[in-house]
Amino acid sequence: MNRKMIERMLRTFALAIALSLLCPAQAQDSGPLYERMAPIDQYLMTDPNTEIAFARTAAPESISRDAEVLVLGRHGYETAVKGKNGWVCIVERSWMAPFDDPEFLNPDQRLPLCLNPPAARTHLPLTFKTTELALAGQSKTQMFDSIKAAYDKKELPLPEAGSMCYMTSKQQYFSRKVGNADPHLMFWFPKTDDMFWGAAASDSPVDVHQYSPQPITEFDISVSKWSDGTDAPRDQH
């Protein structure tokens, strides 16, 4: 075997190694990151006080300072601070993303919400149920079926009139693609037509999400300021 043949074989071998390293990464980028939960420690925050402070960043201090605060533990959400005004602040994890979201079950996702009293009564049961299913190790498909069955059996409530929350934290993290997003308010309704709020119009400032299998419509409206009162960029998306 001459020198040129050896060099050609080495180049071919190096190319094969490079492709073998590249292909899995490409496959991961094009498909779901997780079908089941990663180890629970990846979703937990190491210090409850840090999670409490983070949850409060969802809304202006005038709202969040007297709100109840929930933190995620190994067996689900726990009350860390008792509230006085009926609002609840919580950092939701990626199992609350739409089931078709490629970031579903991504441990990196952190979404601080401050919910008003109607939303605390009717959105949090969905959060608790989905969290329970995720922590039980159900697959994405199993979770979808379990949530659908819970609504079909009326074990989960539909949104109460006036249900809404603040998502105006500078530190909220949606995904690798989006990062943060505009500070915004979210409003929940039993499943309804997009034009209920004019959200189907191309020039409307209202975004809409029709989640499945939840029979719920979510309208989002971007606002101009973060919870700390500073101005938000207009092109955050």
User: Does some domain include residue 3?
Assistant: no
Mean pLDDT, rounded, for 20-45 = 64
In a domain, 2, yes or no: no
The stretch 149-156 carries a mean pLDDT of 98
Residue predicted with more confidence, 133 or 34:
133
Over 70: is that where the pLDDT of 128 sits? Answer: yes
What mean pLDDT do residues 52-74 have?
98
106 within some domain: yes
The order of strands in the sheet holding 164-167 is 76-81, 68-73, 88-92, 111-115, 164-167, 184-190, 216-222, 206-211
Average pLDDT, the chain: 86
Q: For residue 146, is it within any domain?
A: yes
Q: Is residue 120 part of a domain?
A: yes
Q: How many Å apart are CA 20 and CA 36, to the nearest integer?
A: 25
What would the DSSP string read from start to end of 102-124?
A: TTTT-TT-BEEEEE-HHHHHHTH
Q: Measure the CA–CA gap between 66 and 116, rounded to whole angstroms.
A: 12
Q: Domain count of the chain? A: 1
- The H or E element containing residue 71 is strand 68-73
pLDDT digits (tens, 9 = 90+) for 204-218: 999 999 999 999 999
pLDDT at 2: 52
**Length, in residues, of the chain:** 237
Residue range(s) defining the domain that contains residue 198:
40-222
User: Is residue 24 domain-resident?
Assistant: no
**Residue 57, domain member (yes or no):** yes
**What pTM does this model have?**
0.83
Tell which wins on pLDDT, 8 or 73: 73
- Residue 24: pLDDT over 80: no
13 has pLDDT over 60: no
**Is residue 16 domain-resident?**
no
* CA-derived radius of gyration, the chain: 22
